[in-house]
């Protein structure tokens, strides 16, 4: 049984379920200055955005050519278009038939207004941290276009063509920024130096998971109008079928602070923890992407980036992979889930579509050079609250998951340990926390405290978008 027919794939935007997988990507945040101009722009975009059928076939062909000959010259340039709730309102699109519930409410409110539910620092409390167009109540971001290419010149040409159309429609670019894969030897890695994008969920019936990976996830977890992990199909209006919610976050990474933190080690640790091992414990993987859970002694190098492991059976206390490690917090696999949500982790999986921005911090530099660098984080989901917001607030930011003295919410399957048990701590890489936050490093000789200091990653912009089907883009343009 397949999740999608070819006709459905031709209607679904390729940014989500297929993924662009390009070395260069630019984002353009756009404001419509008139309803007619916005519709004119969408009318031009609709037949030009990349569909999932074309993107997936290209990705398969690229992989096959690379496998057979090592040739990487096959090229393509793709475009995606996604709308915010304020953008849909500017086009007078009625959101009434969007499936009612917490996810629709979160989408209409927008990310900046949901900071408390997400666990983010509120933008108003950190003046200057959030970019102006993304500030609460700015109503400046109506449309986000992502353009990705294997060739920088092809990308520039399409961006220039988009600008011509923006001028014709009277629309304005309020923010733009380019991202690209990092240069060798860090290609495929993020700015802290770790291989990225390893644990992506496969979609049931569409793309079989690689050997040693978790089971595939039902299509409805990512695309509206299909059965989800509980076999529920959310009924939607025609504008929402074959569409997805998209989370965008501009994440600034403090690479100098990360290097200082791992170089400083863990005071009173017995045995001591090396720089490479401490970084691997923070992330949950070695720099090559190999999981520390399977390779506790040292980094085995490239080619060991598998996902065939769990935590509870052999490492419940976090002796090898700390309970607060980033990959363990973000995808706890067989851990217990906090109350109020299904225990199955497949109900909280996300398709991640990210790319670094900014130049790498020079090797060996331990002080801030004043240049912003980080990640354009995108994730594609069927439910903003159950997937993205839940993972960020209940797992990543929560010092009591999966170990702590009190559950975050009453009831549900989460069973807290004996009162008084020290919390494991927040995710040291992606978690929001105070400067005095600590993680508890568990060792055979006992536990020691690992002070985190200020956050390594700060959210500097973000918004919730809807990635409509291609037919829906046309319908909105012509309504």
Same domain, 76 and 157: yes
pLDDT values of the chain reduced to their tens digit, one per residue, 479 residues = 578 999 999 999 999 999 999 999 999 999 999 999 999 999 999 999 999 999 999 988 888 887 888 878 889 999 999 999 999 999 999 888 787 789 999 999 999 999 989 988 888 778 789 999 999 888 899 999 999 999 999 999 999 999 999 999 999 999 999 999 999 999 999 999 999 988 888 898 787 777 767 788 999 999 999 998 888 887 677 789 999 999 999 999 999 999 999 999 999 999 999 999 999 999 999 999 999 999 999 999 999 998 888 888 889 889 999 999 999 999 888 876 443 344 466 678 899 999 999 999 999 999 999 999 999 999 999 999 999 999 999 889 888 888 775 544 443 344 445 555 667 889 999 998 888 889 999 999 999 999 999 999 999 999 999 999 999 999 999 98
Say if 1 falls within a structural domain.
no
Contact in structure between 356 and 181 (CB atoms under 8 Å): yes
- Regarding whether 43 and 64 lie in a shared domain, the answer is yes
The two three-digit tokens of residue 342, written as one number: 């299904």
450 with 307, same domain?
A: yes
> 399 by DSSP, 3-state: which?
coil
- Are 174 and 72 within one domain? yes
| Same-domain pairing of 324 and 236 | no
User: Could you tell me if 58 and 206 lie in one domain?
Assistant: yes
Task: Enter the pTM of the model.
Answer: 0.93
pLDDT of residue 421: 62
> Domain limits at 15?
6-246+466-478
Q: Indicate whether 83 and 226 sit together in one domain.
A: yes
For 112-117, the CB contacts below 8 A with 24+ separation are 112/136, 112/137, 112/462, 112/463, 113/137, 114/389, 114/464, 117/385, 117/389, 117/393
| pLDDT value of position 342 | 41
- Considering the domain architecture, whether residues 231 and 280 belong to the same structural domain is answered as no
d(CA 478, CA 399): 49
- Beta bridge pairs of residue 356: 375
Distance CA 287, CA 281 (A): 11
Question: Is residue 45 a contact partner of residue 79, using CB atoms and an 8 Å limit?
Answer: yes
Whether residues 22 and 127 fall in one domain: yes
Which runs of consecutive H residues, i.e. helices, occur in 293-405?
A: 312-315, 326-330, 390
pLDDT recorded at residue 415: 47
DSSP string, 258-302: HHHHHHH--TT-SS---HHHHHHHHHSB-TTS-BTTT--SS---T
Distance of alpha carbon 95 from alpha carbon 85, whole angstroms: 8
- 265 in the same domain as 149: no
145 plus 288 within the same structural domain: no
* 452 in a structural domain: yes
- CA triple 134-136-138, angle to 5 deg: 65
Q: Both 241 and 257 in a single domain?
A: no
Instruction: For residue 245, give Cα distances in angstroms to 13, 84, 176, 241, 380.
Output: 12, 10, 21, 11, 6
**For the chain, how many structural domains are there in total?**
2
Of residues 457, 20, 1, the one with CA closest to residue 252: 457
Identify which of 421, 428, 407, 437 has the alpha carbon closest to the alpha carbon of residue 324: 428
Q: What is the pLDDT of residues 263-290, one digit of tens each?
A: 999 999 999 999 999 999 999 999 999 9
pLDDT score recorded for residue 1: 55
What pLDDT, in 10s, does the model give residues 13-40? 999 999 999 999 999 999 999 999 999 9
Q: Is residue 33 part of a domain?
A: yes
């Amino acid at each position: 049984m397949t999740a999608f027919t070819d006709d459905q794939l031709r209607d679904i935007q390729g940014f989500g379920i297929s993924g662009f997988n390009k070395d260069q990507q630019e984002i353009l945040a756009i404001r419509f200055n008139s309803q007619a101009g916005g519709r004119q722009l969408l009318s031009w975009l609709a037949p030009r955005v990349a569909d999932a059928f074309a993107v997936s076939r290209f990705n398969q062909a690229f992989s096959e050519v690379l496998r057979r000959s090592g040739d990487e010259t096959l090229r393509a340039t793709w475009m995606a278009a996604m709308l915010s709730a304020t953008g849909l309102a500017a086009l007078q699109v009625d959101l009434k038939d969007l499936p009612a519930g917490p996810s629709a409410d979160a989408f209409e409110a927008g990310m900046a207004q949901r900071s408390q539910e997400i666990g983010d620092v509120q933008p108003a409390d950190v003046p200057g941290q959030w970019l102006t167009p993304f500030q609460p109540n700015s109503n400046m971001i109506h449309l986000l276009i992502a353009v990705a290419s294997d060739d920088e010149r092809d990308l520039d040409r399409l961006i220039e063509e988009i600008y011509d159309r923006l001028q014709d429609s009277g629309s304005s670019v309020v923010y733009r920024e380019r991202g690209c894969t990092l240069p060798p030897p860090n290609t495929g890695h993020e700015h802290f130096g770790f291989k990225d994008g390893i644990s992506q969920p496969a979609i049931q019936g569409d793309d079989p998971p690689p050997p040693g990976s978790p089971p595939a996830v039902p299509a409805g977890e990512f695309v509206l109008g299909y059965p989800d992990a509980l076999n529920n199909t959310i009924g939607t209006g025609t504008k929402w079928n074959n569409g997805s919610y998209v989370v965008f976050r501009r994440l600034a990474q403090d690479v100098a602070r990360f290097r200082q933190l791992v170089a400083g080690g863990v005071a009173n640790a017995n045995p001591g923890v090396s720089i490479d091992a401490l970084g691997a414990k923070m992330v949950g993987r070695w720099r090559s992407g190999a999981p520390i859970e399977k390779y506790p002694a040292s980094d085995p190098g490239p080619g060991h980036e598998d996902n065939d492991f769990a935590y509870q059976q052999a490492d419940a206390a976090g002796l090898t992979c700390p309970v607060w490690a980033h990959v363990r917090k973000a995808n706890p696999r067989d851990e217990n889930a906090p109350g109020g949500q299904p225990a199955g982790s497949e109900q909280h999986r996300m398709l991640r579509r990210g790319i670094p921005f900014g130049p790498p911090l020079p090797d060996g530099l331990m002080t801030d050079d004043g240049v912003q660098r980080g990640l354009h984080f995108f994730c594609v989901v069927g439910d903003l609250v159950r997937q993205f917001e839940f993972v960020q607030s209940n797992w990543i930011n929560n010092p009591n998951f999966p170990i702590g003295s009190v559950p975050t919410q009453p009831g549900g399957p989460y069973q807290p340990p004996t009162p008084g048990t020290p919390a494991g701590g927040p995710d040291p890489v992606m978690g929001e926390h105070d400067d005095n936050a600590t993680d508890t490093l568990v060792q055979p000789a006992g536990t020691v405290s690992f002070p985190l200091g200020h956050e390594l990653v700060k959210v500097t912009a973000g918004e919730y978008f809807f990635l409509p089907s291609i037919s829906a883009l046309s319908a909105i343009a012509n309504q």
